[in-house]
């Protein structure tokens, strides 16, 4: 089974019905993780905010094309920082199966309809 399907299976086991397919919630969690990766690689808050302003000043892109761009750019970043992209993804998915209760608790404590995780 491919990685995306295995992640979807984990999300269905972890989250209440409808949450795994909530594009708004998944977008916020993706952005949070992307910012954490940027921070871990030394990106400053000022640089992140400058990029937010740059992106939101431009026309909205096509989600499928942007997803491809994210995947290619992530692979390039992992190459530049000596991270095995596939191994990192597999390790995180395995870790998440062991953290379902903690993830559910964090989600339950999150303010309703907020992009913030807590």
For the segment 36-57, the average pLDDT, to the nearest whole number, is: 98
Of 10, 45, 25, 21, which Cα lies nearest the Cα of 111?
25
Domain residue spans in the chain? Answer: 3-8+24-109
pLDDT, average across residues 101-118? 82
> What is the band of 111 on the pLDDT scale with cuts at 50, 70, 90?
confident
For residue 110, the 8-state DSSP code is S
Q: Which residues contact 14 (CB under 8 A, 6 or more apart)?
A: 20, 96, 100, 103, 104
CA angle 25, 29, 30 (to 5 degrees): 115
pTM greater than 0.85: yes
d(CA 80, CA 48): 19
74-94: per-residue pLDDT in tens?
999 999 999 999 999 999 999
């Amino acid at each position: 089974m491919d990685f995306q399907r295995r992640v979807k299976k984990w999300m269905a086991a972890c989250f209440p019905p409808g949450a795994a397919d909530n594009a708004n919630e998944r977008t916020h969690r993706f952005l949070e993780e992307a910012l954490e990766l940027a921070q871990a690689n030394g990106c400053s808050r000022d640089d992140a905010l400058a990029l937010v302003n740059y992106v939101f000043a431009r026309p909205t892109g096509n989600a499928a094309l942007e997803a491809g761009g994210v995947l290619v750019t992530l692979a390039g970043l992992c190459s530049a920082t000596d991270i095995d992209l596939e191994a990192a993804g597999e390790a995180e998915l395995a870790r998440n199966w062991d953290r379902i209760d903690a993830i559910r608790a964090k989600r339950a404590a999150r303010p309703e309809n907020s992009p913030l995780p807590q």
